[in-house]
Amino acid sequence: MYLYEYEAIELFKRYKIPIEKTCLAKNYEGLKKCLYEIPPPNVLKAQVLSGKRGKSGGILFPNTKGEYLEYGKKLLGKDIAGMKVDSILVSERIDIKKEMYIAITIDKSKKKYVVIIAAVGGMDIEEIAMHSPHMIEKIIIDPLLGYSEYVIRRIAKKLMLPVNEVKKIFIPMYRLFIENKCLLVEINPLVLTTDGRLLAIDRKIILDDSFIRLDKGLKKYIDLRMCKMSESEKIAYKHGFSYVKLNGNIAIIGNGAGLTMATMDLISLHGGKPGVFLDLGGGASSERVRNALLIVLHDKDIDKVFVNILGGITRCDEVAEGIVRAMEETKTDKKLFVRLVGNNEEIGRKILFDKGIYAFVDLEEAVKEVVMS
């Protein structure tokens, strides 16, 4: 689960990671109250689950009271990456001497933790890698051994900071990561202020969905998120699907986040408008496929559904049976497109063919048909 920044701040404060002064506004009245706590010049940050909010106009820098109220009013209700802004984080404007990047995540290939640091910050790590690859360093940590003083010294050397100052950031950050079973804890940027303070002024946390269901302290984030979810999102979450509602009319169902995202990009490239992203995950049973398809078939904003399956541990015949069951149950007039390749694909295509459903093999051909039909 990707936390809102204001939720991440709660955990940062719990672990005493130094941050700037902030105030959360959930409506226009709240915005006016925050004005007196943190007067301009300050920063208005849209609270949406997107890493691209700055580029989408979701971070604004008012210098006066008039600008603050004007910018805040425009930001509330604004659409950013398909998500409506319903709260704003008001942050103290910081005089910055230096921006840096630090994150702790998991290297699944090595089955170890990895600390990623860069001597520049304030942009996506992908951009840093592209424009300043020499600025990035990765430090592997064995989960069984934990970090050592050597790790802290390497961070301090790379970021050109005093070791004692790095400890104030890294040690509580590492505890937060470990104790809450995080998939990612990121500070971007970590800043050195002109008066010598080291502050985490932009925070990102991704939690493990399986763990937060069991942890009483973290489960509240699920409960809060459920209150904001549509009925489709609640059903998708119940079944463990990665589900994102978008603005278009084409629902995309795939097995694996990478495949589903690539399919969504291809749809967009050919002029289509994705309306739902739904990742089945690996090894999907016919029942799981049926449940996924029923969710999008009941979405009034969707008129086309594209199921793209690359069968490995997922069997194409299981997928086909799930598709047939869902279509027979709904009797929908929505257009369905299927691409099946991989494990038991011939059996799966025959199951679909017998029910009058054609299954594509070539992805490019399938995508063109979805968009043009």
- Active-site residue set: 101, 186
Q: Distance (Å, rounded) from C-alpha 265 to C-alpha 84? A: 22
Cβ distance 319 to 349 under 8 Å?
Answer: no
The terminus-to-terminus CA distance of the chain in angstroms comes to 35
Q: Distance (Å, rounded) from C-alpha 125 to C-alpha 257? A: 20
Give, in order, the Cα–Cα distances in Å from 329 to each of 90, 102, 290, 324, 365: 49, 50, 10, 9, 28
Q: Distance (Å, rounded) from C-alpha 241 to C-alpha 172? A: 32
The string over 125-136, giving b where at least 16 C-beta atoms fall within 10 Å of a residue's C-beta and e elsewhere, is beebeeeeeebb
Cβ distance 309 to 292 under 8 Å?
Answer: no
Place of tokens 């463990």: 240
- Give 133's DSSP letter: G
Q: DSSP letters along 95-132, please? A: -EEEEEEEEEEEETTTTEEEEEEES--SS-HHHHHHH-
Place of tokens 């997922």: 314
| Beta carbons within 8 Å of 190's beta carbon, 6+ residues apart | 99, 100, 101, 102, 121, 159, 169, 198, 199, 200, 201
